[in-house]
Amino acid sequence: MNRIINDPDDVVEDALKGLTAAHPDLLAGTAHPRVIRVAGAGAVGRVGVVTGGGSGHEPAFVGYVGPGLLDAVAIGEVFASPTARAFEAAFKAADGGRGVACLYGNYAGDNMNVKMAVRLAARDGLAVRTVVANDDAASAPPDERGKRRGVAGEILMWKTAAALAAEGADLETVIAVAQKTIDATRSVGIGLSACTIPAAGKPNFSIADGTMEVGIGHHGEPGIAVRPIAPARAMAATMMETILADLPFARGDDVAVLVSGLGATPVMELYILYAHVAEILAEAGIRVRHRFVGNYFTSLEMMGASVTLTRLDAELDRLLGAKARSIGLTVTGDA
């Protein structure tokens, strides 16, 4: 394991020290060591927007804290849900007096800890509503959408909901737009190599050299098929077949596209993939209104990429284009 770490058990704590030291203009610590909030006044007078999840997905989740994006995040160990208390503390850190929207991904641990945290917060009179992302089209059939995992599409959900909260919308409206965003979003991943949780010291799954796992999850969850490695254009075609048919997206749709690396794939290759994604969308008569290419939501040092599409109406289009600043995503709002 050739890595830049100290004690493998301390990677989360050590990384948080670096994150807050590097971004004092964006991030502030809180009384809870695993909760980071936006620097400055925060959500005063508006709905607070919160997420949380395991570490190892950087820049997610903490990298989306900032003006026009998340107000606070709860941070777990590598690939493990934050504690219920951390979620509760994040709700309190994001409370500006108009309630809190907790927008997170569909994993058993996160579901339970969020549910407990909502109960704990309710005892103190804090209203928290939740939306659980399930954009990973490869993780369960369409008629079992409730079982699907949340992946990179969460970022677009945070963006639209936070932009609407910044406009002064109430909690119910913010929750509705988050739900609308994730309902219109589909993602799929391709994994080319495994990853290793530092404290475990060895990968807990494997991808044979020369093969790729189509539909892999963000923690190495098995996908829909293991296939021989293919040229980028064929990978793009496979991924787009999976998500275009699932929503389904149709000729004339406006979309946002997010191509994220899984950690160890060179950014150059993400652009090679994006070129083919853009071609396929053009041929299908689907218009790209927003595009994001880079390491947005990773899985430690896994090689591979995910592609996310969101169908846009005028509201989602406007909210995605609203001004925001964070480590992972900055939108100037000039376009």
Q: Is 11 in the site for other proteins (CB under 8 A)?
A: no
Q: How far apart are CA 317 and CA 251, in angstroms?
A: 17
Contact call for residues 238 and 165 (beta carbons, < 8 A): no
Q: Which one of 39-47, 105-113, 179-187, 307-315 is the stretch in contact with other proteins (CB under 8 A)?
A: 105-113
Exactly one of 25, 33, 97, 115 binds other proteins (CB under 8 A); that residue is 115
Angle of helix 171-183 versus helix 153-166 axis, rounded to 10 = 150
Question: Pick from 133, 54, 142, 132: which is nearest to 308 by CA?
Answer: 133
315 — alpha (psi -120 to 50), left (phi > 0) or beta? alpha
Question: 17 or 115: whose CB is closer to other proteins?
Answer: 115
Q: How far apart are CA 233 and CA 45, in angstroms?
A: 48
Q: Is 108 in the site for other proteins (CB under 8 A)?
A: yes
Exactly one of 84, 171, 214, 319 binds other proteins (CB under 8 A); that residue is 84
Close Cβ partners of 41 (under 8 Å, ≥ 6 residues apart) = none
Question: 17 or 119: whose CB is closer to other proteins?
Answer: 119
If binding means CB under 8 A, how many residues of this protein chain bind other proteins? 21
CA separation, residue 292 to residues 102, 151, 288 (Å)? 23, 15, 11
Exactly one of 112, 225, 250, 282 binds other proteins (CB under 8 A); that residue is 112
Question: 101 or 197: whose CB is closer to other proteins?
Answer: 197
Closest distance between other proteins and the C-beta of residue 103, in Å? 19
Question: 121 or 235: whose CB is closer to other proteins?
Answer: 121
Question: Rg of the chain over CA atoms, in angstroms?
Answer: 19
Phi, psi (deg, nearest 5) at residue 15: -70, -35
Site for other proteins in 23-82 (CB under 8 A): 76-77, 80-82
Question: 96 or 203: whose CB is closer to other proteins?
Answer: 203
Closest distance between other proteins and the C-beta of residue 9, in Å? 10
Q: Which one of 43-51, 65-73, 104-112, 271-279 is the stretch in contact with other proteins (CB under 8 A)?
A: 104-112
Q: Is 204 in the site for other proteins (CB under 8 A)?
A: yes
Closest distance between other proteins and the C-beta of residue 256, in Å? 31
* Residue 132 token pair: 């659980």
Exactly one of 56, 65, 67, 83 binds other proteins (CB under 8 A); that residue is 83
Phi, psi (deg, nearest 5) at residue 22: -80, -25
Q: Give the 3-state secondary structure of residue 119.
A: helix
Contact call for residues 100 and 48 (beta carbons, < 8 A): yes
DSSP strand pairing (225-228 vs 211-214): antiparallel
Closest distance between other proteins and the C-beta of residue 197, in Å? 8
Q: Is 130 in the site for other proteins (CB under 8 A)?
A: no
* Residue 280 token pair: 């396929």
Question: 83 or 310: whose CB is closer to other proteins?
Answer: 83
H or E element that contains 316: helix 314-320
Q: Give the 3-state secondary structure of residue 270.
A: helix
Active site residues: 57, 219
Close Cβ partners of 176 (under 8 Å, ≥ 6 residues apart) = none
Site for other proteins in 141-200 (CB under 8 A): 197, 200
Q: Is 215 in the site for other proteins (CB under 8 A)?
A: no
Exactly one of 222, 226, 289, 291 binds other proteins (CB under 8 A); that residue is 222
Question: 81 or 130: whose CB is closer to other proteins?
Answer: 81
Q: Is 294 in the site for other proteins (CB under 8 A)?
A: no
Q: What is the DSSP letter of 324?
A: B
Residues that bind other proteins (CB under 8 A): 76-77, 80-86, 108-109, 112-113, 115-116, 120, 197, 200, 204, 221-222
